């Protein structure tokens, strides 16, 4: 019997799209069908002002560096000529503006010398998805790890959602891919990048969030706002176990020690996934702890984000400014997506 050479031989390791045996790259997301060796080091220009590049592709200094393999052959079409990875769209210095479907900002804060947060956001046919990763400052290379994790996860989210796959399964696959990417950057026992992770898919069916660590997702609306995630942190663990009262736990110096993260030293990664269908319009906000450390209550975030001008990116800017105004010592990142998605609108 003659084998049909056009039959799918495998599936894309990033987005799950069927791939043919002779394909070098996935037609859906651009990921190579076989692993591509990484160069020893990828150098990126640091931000020159308080607003740092929104890592979710190349930094603001240029679009020539691939967010997956670190090569410098990204073309005008947004695909890497070396490994085929599709870069995240519409990056600017410190913010991403997708018009009415979403927006994000990232800033190094008032005390940090560099921004180790990363945000990646993209529009869908109806809605948007986003990822925020916060590099662990004490782990070498975590800024790079966070950036690559956000890029890789966004590729999975956009690819699989566009193919009609289940948002919960898609979210788990995105976390798994991000974890693989960060673990693959380890240069030894003392050189293992690490980062936290939070993502959201917002479509007509509702909101699906996934997380590992203490980066958070919030639901903000005039009818009521709430935290959607549960921190993987020492304080949250003490409170959940009933070992300490919340006030005492969060006042402890160990409060913000994370108990789960992405990285070679993280062990098996078990992502949290939650979904809900809002009854009223509102905003989904993803953020690093640089925002919620100073503004932890959902109602306080809603008072800042809701009702202002500038669409989603305007809301993200107001959240950033509020964090800086109250001290903003850490890196601050926020991504904002409206729900339900605007009818008939796509990202610009």
Q: 10 Å Cβ neighbour count for 106?
A: 30
- Please tell me the predicted confidence (pLDDT) of residue 39: 33
**Higher-pLDDT residue of 248, 69:** 248
- Please tell me the predicted confidence (pLDDT) of residue 92: 38
- Residue 340 — pLDDT band, cuts 50, 70, 90? very high
Tens digits of residue pLDDT in 112-140: 888 999 999 999 999 999 999 999 988 88
Least confident of 29-43, 142-156, 238-252, 319-333: 29-43
Q: 10 Å Cβ neighbour count for 187?
A: 12
What is the number of alpha carbons within 13 Å of residue 304 lying toward its C-beta?
26
pLDDT above 90: percentage of residues in the chain: 54
Would the pLDDT of 14 be above 90? Answer: no
- CA neighbor of 232 nearest in space, from 179, 271, 200, 181: 271
Would the pLDDT of 104 be above 60? Answer: yes
- Residue 74 — pLDDT band, cuts 50, 70, 90? low
Q: 10 Å Cβ neighbour count for 18?
A: 15
pTM, full prediction? 0.75
Residues 95, 157, 226: CA angle, nearest 5 degrees = 70
For residue 211, the surrounding DSSP H or E stretch is strand 206-212
Tens digits of residue pLDDT in 232-264: 988 888 988 888 888 888 888 888 789 999 999
Give the bridge partners for 120, in sequence order.
Answer: 131
């Amino acid at each position: 019997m003659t084998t049909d050479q056009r039959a799918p031989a495998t599936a894309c390791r990033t987005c799950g799209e069927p791939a043919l045996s002779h394909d070098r790259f996935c037609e859906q997301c651009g990921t190579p069908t076989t692993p591509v060796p990484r160069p020893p080091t990828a150098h990126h220009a640091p931000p020159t002002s308080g607003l740092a590049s929104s890592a979710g592709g190349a930094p603001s200094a240029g679009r020539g560096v691939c967010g997956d393999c670190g090569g410098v052959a990204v073309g005008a079409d947004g695909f890497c000529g070396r490994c085929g990875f599709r870069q995240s769209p519409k990056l600017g210095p410190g913010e991403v503006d997708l018009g009415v479907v979403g927006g994000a900002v990232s800033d190094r804060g008032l005390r940090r010398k560099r921004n180790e947060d990363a945000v990646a956001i993209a529009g869908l046919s109806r809605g948007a998805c986003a990822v925020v990763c916060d590099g662990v400052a004490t782990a070498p290379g975590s800024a790079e790890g966070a950036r690559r994790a956000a890029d890789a996860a966004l590729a999975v989210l956009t690819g699989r959602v566009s193919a009609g796959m289940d948002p919960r399964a898609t979210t788990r696959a995105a976390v798994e891919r991000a974890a693989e990417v960060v673990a693959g950057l380890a240069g030894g026992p003392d050189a293992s990048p690490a980062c936290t992770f939070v993502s959201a898919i917002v479509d007509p069916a509702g909101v699906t969030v996934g997380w590992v660590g203490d980066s958070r997702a919030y639901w903000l609306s005039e009818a009521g706002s709430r935290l959607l995630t549960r921190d993987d942190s020492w304080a949250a663990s003490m409170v959940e176990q009933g070992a300490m009262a919340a006030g005492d736990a969060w006042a402890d110096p160990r409060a913000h020690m994370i108990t789960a993260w992405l990285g070679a030293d993280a062990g098996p990664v078990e992502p949290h996934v939650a979904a809900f269908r809002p009854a009223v319009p509102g905003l989904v906000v993803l953020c690093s702890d640089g925002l919620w450390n100073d503004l932890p209550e959902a109602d306080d975030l809603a008072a800042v984000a809701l009702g202002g001008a500038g669409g989603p990116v305007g809301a993200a800017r107001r959240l950033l400014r509020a964090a800086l105004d109250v001290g903003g010592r850490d890196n601050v990142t926020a991504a904002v997506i409206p729900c339900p998605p605007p009818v008939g609108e796509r990202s610009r």
